[in-house]
């Protein structure tokens, strides 16, 4: 029995974590076995790598090191948690995945296509069945993010960086239309959740038809 792998993407402050919890409750109420996880992180090794990547004290961390650490954390996450869970028939909800590396490292940091090559190696062919892209502008994301006082190394970047990340996401949406579903995240929490459910049910209907 094969489960499903669903990733959530979007700029900092788009409300992913809130929506993932609510969407998981909806799936659980429908009887699905759900795993919630996040990147960078999700396993003990990957969480340790996360600390190194995001620590604001690590100012020397060069862009290539950053990109490789995200990919290293991801390789462990796929092998230890995501792949076995999907193979066991579970629905895995993952807060960020490869698309974050394309948006933040390839576009934001300007590392280009190397990022896709490295990540292809890290994930060993496992890509999400659905990716929900919670779309808000970089400005709105940064405005919402001001509410939290402790910002990590990436969140401390200036608006110009977050604009490039946003541009990267739009390119990914264009390129991966088969799995990307764009959700207007400027709406209320309830409206965004309703749209997630609607789009998921449409996906289920398409899958049932294809059988």
Of 70, 107, 133, 200, the one binding ligand TYD by CB under 6 A: 70
Length of the chain: 211
Instruction: Give the nearer residue to ligand TYD in terms of CB position, either 152 or 203.
Output: 152
Quote the least distance from Cβ 204 to ligand TYD, whole Å: 27
Q: Which of positions 29-48 make contact with ligand TYD (CB under 6 A)? A: 39-40
Residue 175 CA to residue 89 CA, distance in Å, equals 28
Quote the least distance from Cβ 211 to ligand TYD, whole Å: 33
Quote the least distance from Cβ 149 to ligand TYD, whole Å: 13
Q: What torsion, rounded to 10 degrees, do the Cα atoms 190, 192, 198, 202 define?
A: -160
Q: Which of positions 85-104 make contact with ligand TYD (CB under 6 A)? A: 95-96, 100-101, 104
Binding piece for ligand TYD, criterion CB under 6 A, among 12-20, 122-130, 172-180, 200-208: 12-20
| Beta strands 4-9 and 130-135, pairing class | parallel
Report the residue closest to ligand TYD, judged by CB.
104
With 0-12 / 13-18 / 19 or more C-beta atoms within 10 angstroms meaning exposed / middle / buried, residue 201 is exposed
Instruction: Give the nearer residue to ligand TYD in terms of CB position, either 123 or 182.
Output: 123
Instruction: Give the nearer residue to ligand TYD in terms of CB position, either 70 or 200.
Output: 70
Quote the least distance from Cβ 205 to ligand TYD, whole Å: 30
CA 53 distance to own-chain centroid: 16
Instruction: Give the nearer residue to ligand TYD in terms of CB position, either 95 or 195.
Output: 95
In the 8-state DSSP scheme, what is residue 90? P
106, 66 contact by CB (below 8 A): no
Query: Is the bond into 100 cis (omega within 30 degrees of 0)?
Result: no
x/- contact string, 154-173, with ligand TYD (CB under 6 A)?
xx------------------
The distance in angstroms from the start CA to the end CA of the chain is 15
Count CB-CB contacts under 10 A for residue 117: 11
Contact set with ligand TYD (CB under 6 A): 12, 16-17, 39-40, 54, 70, 95-96, 100-101, 104-105, 152, 154-155
């Amino acid at each position: 029995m094969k489960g499903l792998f669903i990733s959530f993407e979007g700029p900092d402050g788009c409300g992913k974590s809130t929506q993932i919890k609510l969407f998981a409750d909806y799936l659980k109420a429908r009887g699905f076995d759900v795993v919630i996880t996040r990147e960078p992180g999700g396993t003990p090794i990957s969480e340790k790598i996360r600390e190194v990547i995001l620590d604001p004290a690590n100012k020397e961390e060069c862009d290539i090191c950053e990109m490789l650490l995200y990919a290293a954390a991801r390789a462990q996450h796929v092998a230890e948690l995501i792949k076995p869970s999907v193979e066991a028939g579970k629905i895995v909800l993952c807060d960020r995945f490869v698309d974050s590396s394309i948006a933040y490292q390839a576009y934001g940091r300007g590392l280009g296509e190397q990022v896709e090559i490295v990540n292809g190696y890290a994930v060993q062919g496992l890509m999400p069945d659905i990716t929900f892209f919670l779309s808000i502008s970089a400005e709105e994301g940064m405005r919402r993010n001001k509410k939290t006082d402790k910002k990590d190394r990436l969140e401390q970047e200036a608006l110009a960086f977050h604009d490039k990340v946003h541009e990267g996401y739009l390119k990914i949406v264009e390129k991966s239309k088969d799995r990307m579903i764009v959700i207007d995240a400027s709406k209320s929490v309830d409206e965004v959740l309703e749209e997630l459910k609607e789009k998921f049910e449409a996906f289920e209907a398409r899958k049932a038809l294809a059988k």
